[in-house]
């Protein structure tokens, strides 16, 4: 089961993902893609950490997401990735031209073969104005294309607005 949860900043998408993970009754592994680059980000990370149950395993992986998913994959396990747009940003800042494309391809290739259930959290970035800079325009483009690819693979896609989940694609679960 692949569950993609999209929403704006502070929309409630992470809270929904955490609620779904907790309700699953499975062993939860939380992959955090954020990096402690400044004080504000450290506060955001601490806020997210404080909400997680102590029995969840947290793995910090800002770049090699496909590799981490394959390493952590196991039956009866749920892997929650929060968040994909930070992962995209991390890769674009490291990009040598093909770095992002290689990691994106690896992610999209590995997802269908995983035994674990997945919850993927990401910021919907394509609903605002077109950014002025090259890097920020590429970030919005790459995030949007990634979301489209993931939505095709996902069993369930939810958009969260003002804390309210809007089901875009129903789960194929009987």
Prediction pTM value: 0.91
pLDDT above 70: residue 41: no
Q: Decide if 54 is catalytic.
A: no
- Length in residues, the chain: 174
17, 133 in Cβ contact below 8 A? no
- Sequence-distant (≥ 6) Cβ neighbours of residue 54 within 8 angstroms: none
Tokens for 81? 């990735």
Domain membership flag for residue 66: yes
Q: Going by DSSP bridges, is the β-strand pair 117-123/2-7 parallel, antiparallel, or unpaired?
A: parallel
- Per-residue pLDDT at 42: 64
pLDDT digits (tens, 9 = 90+) for 89-148: 999 988 766 889 999 999 999 999 999 999 999 999 988 777 888 889 999 999 999 999
Domain membership flag for residue 174: no
- Per-residue pLDDT at 37: 66
- Per-residue pLDDT at 174: 46
CATH of the domain at 45: 3.40.50.300
Percentage of the residues of the chain whose pLDDT score is greater than 90: 73
pLDDT above 50: residue 43: yes
Q: Please state the domain count of the chain.
A: 1
CA–CA distance from 131 to each of 78, 94, 107, 139, 140 (Å)?
A: 35, 20, 26, 9, 8
Q: What is the mean pLDDT of residues 77-91?
A: 96
116, 73 in Cβ contact below 8 A? yes
Q: Which of 47, 48, 54, 147 is catalytic?
A: 48
Domain that holds residue 130: 2-169
Mean pLDDT of the chain: 91
- The kind and range of the H/E element at 77 are strand 77-82
pLDDT above 90: residue 35: no
pLDDT above 70: residue 64: yes
- Count H helices, E strands: the chain? 6, 7
- Per-residue pLDDT at 45: 64
User: Which residue did the predictor score with more confidence, 172 or 132?
Assistant: 132
User: Which residue did the predictor score with more confidence, 94 or 153?
Assistant: 153
Q: What is the mean pLDDT of residues 156-173?
A: 89
């Amino acid at each position: 089961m692949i569950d993609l949860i999209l929403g704006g900043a502070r929309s409630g998408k992470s809270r929904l993902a955490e609620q779904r993970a907790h309700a699953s009754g499975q062993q939860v592994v939380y992959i955090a893609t954020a990096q402690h680059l400044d004080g504000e980000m450290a506060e955001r990370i601490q806020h997210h950490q404080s909400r997680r149950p102590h029995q969840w395993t947290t793995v910090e992986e800002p770049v090699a997401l496909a590799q981490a998913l394959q390493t952590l994959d196991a039956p009866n396990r749920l892997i929650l990735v929060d968040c994909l747009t930070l992962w995209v940003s991390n890769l674009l800042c490291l990009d040598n031209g093909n770095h992002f494309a290689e990691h994106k391809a690896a992610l999209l290739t590995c997802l269908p073969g995983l035994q674990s259930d997945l919850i993927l959290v990401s910021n919907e970035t394509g609903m605002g104005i077109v950014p002025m800079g090259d890097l920020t325009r590429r970030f919005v483009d790459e995030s949007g294309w990634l979301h489209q690819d993931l939505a095709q693979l996902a069993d369930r896609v939810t958009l969260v607005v003002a804390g309210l989940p809007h089901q875009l694609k129903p789960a194929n679960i009987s």
